[in-house]
Amino acid sequence: MGLFDRFFGKRKSASGQEDEPKLNLAFVLLSEPREPDAMAIALAYREFAEPGEELLFEPEEPRDPAGIQVVALALRSGEKSFVALMPAPVPNGEADEGVQYSLSRFRNDWDLPKHLAHLVVTFHGTPKSTPIERLSRFTSLLAAVIKASPAVDVYWGNSGATHDPDYFLTIAAEPDLAPKMTLWSGMSMAREEDGRFSLLSLGMGQLGLPDLLMVADEDSVGSALEWMYDLLFMSPSAGNHCRKVTRWEEPRTRVCPCITSGRRSIGRRRSGEWNCHKYERPLE
């Protein structure tokens, strides 16, 4: 099987008879090129996985024609993963740009160390697994890869964020799921024209939900950020009933644009005025 097909799966036919696998992708940035150790990853996975979950490594296949060794891993629940070494930095500075979207950048003014190579890590979910189950297992897998390699950062593609490995391991080891939302969703922060700050989540599409936009006064950014991550976690936990992009225009007022099928803009007008409702909730 070709490298592309192994990493990303074969395209399904238009008949839709087969369920398309759910794919997650991340890059673990390395201080030096080192091929992945399947045994070490499988052992480290036990430190972060739910009780009873076990990561198995499959027999090594011959090297890809390009000379890349791909490690194949699998869970008893049916999910599969591939890990491969790319002996070069992530191209186009994409991982460097992701630092600004991670909460770990606030830890002692952390910045991206130089990396010389990276591991491509894919996780292929099954149609029976829920989005939260897939993200939770993928988080445990990435934590295991980090522990088993000379990692300096991890870039979670679908959240656009590059995380400090120490921060990632600390959050991945948390028994509760709520803190893991800070890994699953990056956060874009920008100053508005009127001096307030806007906070935009990145990556809620992994849960089948639109992203959220909050606008807060400068002196309430900290509490707004904490509240926003609480809401991001509550949305999928509530059963994915919410299908609205939410914009907070004031620290105590939230404005919900009504989103129709196929219209999931991120706090923007498509045409005319928003058909919205408002209600008050104080920030703590």
Predicted confidence (pLDDT) per residue in 190-246, tens digit: 888 888 888 899 999 898 888 888 888 878 778 888 888 888 888 765 444 333 444
Q: What is the pLDDT of residue 147?
A: 96
The residue ranges of every structural domain in the chain are: 19-183, 185-280
Q: 12 vs 59, which has greater pLDDT?
A: 59
Choice among 16-30, 70-84, 172-186 with the minimum mean pLDDT: 16-30
Q: How confident is the model at residue 59 (pLDDT cuts 50, 70, 90)?
A: low
Q: 212 vs 282, which has greater pLDDT?
A: 212
For residue range 75-91, what is the model confidence (pLDDT) as tens digits?
988 899 999 999 999 99
Residues near 106 by Cβ (< 8 Å), separated by ≥ 6?
Answer: none
Q: What percent of the chain clears pLDDT 70, i.e. is strictly above it? A: 71
**Interatomic CA distance for residues 21 and 53, integer angstroms:** 20
Task: Evaluate whether 75 touches 133 at the Cβ level (below 8 Å).
Answer: no
Task: Evaluate whether 95 touches 115 at the Cβ level (below 8 Å).
Answer: yes
pTM of the full structure: 0.76
Count CB atoms within 10 A of the CB of residue 8: 14
| Ramachandran assignment for 206, one of left (phi > 0), alpha (psi -120 to 50 degrees), beta (any other) | alpha
For residue range 116-125, what is the model confidence (pLDDT) as tens digits?
999 999 999 8
Phi first, then psi: what are they for 200, rounded to 5°? -125, 120
Q: What is the pLDDT of residue 179?
A: 92
- Residue 110's closest CA among 100, 118, 123? 100
Q: Could you give the C-alpha distances from 160 to 57, 99, 107, 211, 258, in angstroms and in order?
A: 28, 9, 18, 13, 26
**String of DSSP letters for 55-112:** EEEPPPPPPPTTS--EEEEEETTS-EEEEEEESSPPGGGHHHHGGGG-GGGGSTT--P
